[in-house]
A and B are shown apart, each in its own frame.
Chain A
Amino acid sequence: MCSCGEGIKDLRYTALEKMLENYQHCPEKIIPVLQETQGIFGYIPAAAIQQISNALDMPSSEIFGVVTFYGQFHLQARGKNIIRICSGTACHVRGGGQVLDAIVKGLGLMNGRTTTEDLMFTLEPVACLGACGMAPVIMINDDTYGRISPQEVPAILAHYKEKEGGQVWVA
């Protein structure tokens, strides 16, 4: 049985396998391995943990421990566009909270959900983006936006909604 969906899935696991060749029996490299895995899938799928476990000679329970410890790793699928909003001190003092509210409203995220239903956006508050001089700051994928106001949010979001199809799963 074959379907196009599975074809794509295979591709990603092939990429994972190829990447893992560089890290055979190196459990100390688990963090860079997980970072690259997340680059391939956008998150860390359960099946990938098993594959990593075999390659690195590391129990999957320990891998799970590392994945859940660090804020960067995700066990659930995430949106195509990652919006990181800074919740650092300077942004807090300069009204980052209102910007967050505007994004939540703009994406229609309800009840504490962080990913939109169409998997277009994931919203992630982060501790500090290190651009405090530009507070409040958000980062969408690799683009940084500084000194933004809640009023500017809808236009910024619209820009990424239009770019639909631009970015696919390969990092």
Chain B
Amino acid sequence: MGSLSEIKKQFQAELKASPKRIKVVVGLGTCGIAAGGEKVFKALDKYIKQNELQADIMSTACIGMCYAEPIMEIHIPDGPRIIYGNMKPETAVEILKNHIYEGKINVGYAIAQETRGNQVIEDIPELKDIPFYSKQVKTVLGRCGVIDPERIEQYIAADGYEALEKALTTMSPVKLIEEIKISGLRGRGGGGFPTGRKWEAAYQSNDSKKYVICNADEGDPGAFMDRSILEGDPHALLEGMALCGYAIGADEGYIYVRAEYPLAIRRLRKAIQDAEKMGLLGQNIMDSGFNFKINIAAGAGAFVCGEETALMHSIEGKRGMPRVRPPYPAQSGLWGHPSNINNVETYANVPAIVRAGGSCFAEIGSANSKGTKVFALTGNINHTGLAEVPIGISLREIVFEIGGGIQNNHCYKAVQIGGPSGGCIPEDLLDTPVDYDSLLELGAMMGSGGLVVMDESTCMVDVARYFLQFTQEESCGKCTPCREGTRQMLKILERICAGEGEPEDIPTLERLCRVIKDTSLCGLGQSAPNPVMATLRYFQSEYEAHIYDKKCPAGVCTNLLKFWIDETKCKGCALCENICPVKAISGERKQVHYVDQEKCIQCGNCMAACKFDAIVRA
């Protein structure tokens, strides 16, 4: 093969050679598929073939706007790129037809345009101006949703594998590690350990065999940024891992992916094959003498395998239980050899750092947290999706400007950050800058970057119970504080939610939190009490309402709810009486009905059935 720059020139020329054709792009990440993107794709493909249009249809990955999926883009030669949201197969075909034959653009469905120097179309905001985009800085997600992830040539045409070539030809491993240190990159998986120092430790370990491991076991409920990178830009991860291999002196890598991500696994397999074919992975990469091969290990559904020592046990084919550190993986990791383990987003940052230099990367971010972070915005928020922002931006900007505020004009209550290991942040702290250290002070943590926004209809005690149930189920059972402690905490929380809480429950919970945090073996146990501690810290009044007043202010805990009938609204139609499974409602025809509170099981069927909104719940 020729040099990388020659290949790049050739691919760029090929991509330019067909500018006279119309390009139709449909987002087919997991989110696009879940919203029905495949049907849209098939309908468009059929239409284009039937009418022999001079158009190419391609799929891409998630561009981050999950709230508008399925998304279709139309690029007319010498025209702007128009992005249409919320497509259905029929509307997509109709829009394409009008767009191509009559030049008519359906402004109603268009969510953004990118002019690329061409004329601006009125009434459609420019992509760079819409609030969801204007605050974002795309380093890691820059290519996601833009290139076709299954075609290596598109990655190369977009500067791909240039960093690897630069490192192999002009940098020593020590120089490469130095560059990562200058960049200030910290682990994006949650802990925030400085990446350069981690690599250095692995480099300094003496062993002829070393491993590079990628933790793609994205298990935090509410986080899906790693999935988007794997599906949307798999080569960036491979390049980052190869750079790490060169830096620490490893010739083999493992990507540990969740089995729940079949599309990501398929795309990774293809990416590895393609890179090997072009000599960008495998033996004697770019004639430098450096060998690096990458294997995929599919996880088997255990959250604790996100912990590094448990993950390595799982690759070795054992029960995925963590062990005591030290020794750290940099000294003794996979099969006893020195190993470096980072998560997907961390590796995906590396090529950009090597290309532009560490100091360039360090210009973005706050004093001790450099670069960007991808957040997954979910929950009761208008714009769900992925947002990559400079670290240090305030939570308020993320939730209200990028996220477009709370759904259905409800009120903000809290944002849960960091998954089962994190905490929640109330309204008065929304102006805190989001970086590793400030979040820890608030009792939350960056975690992998899941942001679940909650409105006033969310019960914080129920949320704490939910997370404890999760960690309790996922506890591997090796150490007692985690196995037994989380079970006791869960029991107490279930009691409180059921209306059987007692005053001493709060101090007991606090004591259990302290003990579990101090004595658990691994990160899962040590951070398991965080959701409870954070909700107790900011929403203690809700616990007290459950315990003393036997009320759930958010109306979530059904045992604490009462249903009754508003006499002024009831028409006596008896719909509720008929639907009640326990015959708790009675009354004469055409007369006001009543709920027998002794019999009522708070199922809510009557409320759903009533046509006059006469059933009241509180």
Contact = CB atoms under 8 A, between A and B. Distances in A.
Interface of A: 27-32, 34-35, 65-66, 69-73, 87-90, 92-94, 126-135, 137, 142, 144-147
Given A31-B317, A132-B384, A89 B300 contact: no
Contacts of B223: 128, 130, 132
A5 to B, nearest CB: 30
Q: Which of A30, A34, A127, A145 has the most CB of B within 10 A?
A: A127
B454 A93 contact: yes
A128 B300 CA distance: 13
Given A66-B319, A134-B384, A135-B378, 17 more contacts: A32-B298, A66-B317, A69-B321, A70-B300, A70-B301, A71-B301, A89-B222, A89-B450, A90-B221, A90-B379, A92-B466, A94-B379, A127-B303, A128-B260, A131-B66, A134-B31, A144-B34
B16 interface: no
A65 B219 contact: no
B262 A137 contact: no
Contact of A131 (B224, B379, B419): B224
Identify the interface centre among B219, B222, B298: most chain A CB within 10 Å of its CB.
B222
Contacts of A134: 31, 34-35, 66, 69, 384
Given A69-B319, A93-B380, A130 B33 contact: no
Nearest to B470: A127
Nearest to A129: B260
Contacts of B227: 130
B260 A89 contact: no
Interface of B: 30-31, 33-35, 66-67, 69, 218-224, 227, 258-262, 297-303, 314-321, 376-380, 384-386, 416, 419, 450, 452, 454, 458, 463, 466-467, 470, 474, 476
Contacts of A126: 260, 301
Contacts of A87: 221
A102 B525 CA distance: 34
Given A31-B300, A90-B452, A133 B376 contact: yes
Nearest to B384: A133
A66 B313 CA distance: 11
Contact of A93 (B260, B315, B379): B379
Contact of B31 (A66, A72, A146): A146
B408 to A, nearest CB: 12
A73 B385 CA distance: 31
A90 B30 contact: no
A69 B300 CA distance: 9
A72 B300 contact: yes
A66 B609 CA distance: 48
A132 B449 CA distance: 13
Nearest to B453: A93
B379 A146 contact: no
Contact of B452 (A32, A93, A144): A93
B303 A34 contact: no
A65 B300 CA distance: 13
Contacts of B222: 88-90, 128, 132
A35 B302 contact: no
Contacts of A147: 34-35
B261 A130 contact: yes
Q: Which of B317, B376, B379, B450 has the most CB of A within 10 A?
A: B317
A29 B317 contact: yes
Contact of B66 (A70, A94, A133): A133
A164 to B, nearest CB: 23
A146 B380 contact: no
19 contacts: A34-B300, A66-B319, A72-B299, A89-B222, A89-B378, A92-B466, A93-B454, A94-B380, A126-B260, A128-B219, A130-B223, A130-B260, A132-B376, A132-B384, A133-B386, A134-B31, A135-B379, A146-B69, A147-B34
A137 B466 CA distance: 17
The residue in A31, A66, A87 that gathers the most chain B C-beta atoms within 10 A of its C-beta is A31
A137 B31 CA distance: 10
B262 A133 contact: no
A72 B301 contact: yes
A27 B317 contact: yes
Contacts of A142: 262
Given A66-B317, A72-B301, A134-B35, A93 B30 contact: no
Given A31-B314, A34-B300, A132-B224, A137 B34 contact: yes
A44 to B, nearest CB: 11
Contact of A130 (B224, B302, B474): B224
Nearest to B376: A132
B15 to A, nearest CB: 30
A129 B262 CA distance: 11
A14 B474 CA distance: 35
Contacts of B35: 134, 146-147
Contacts of A135: 378-379, 384
Nearest to A84: B260
Contacts of B458: 93
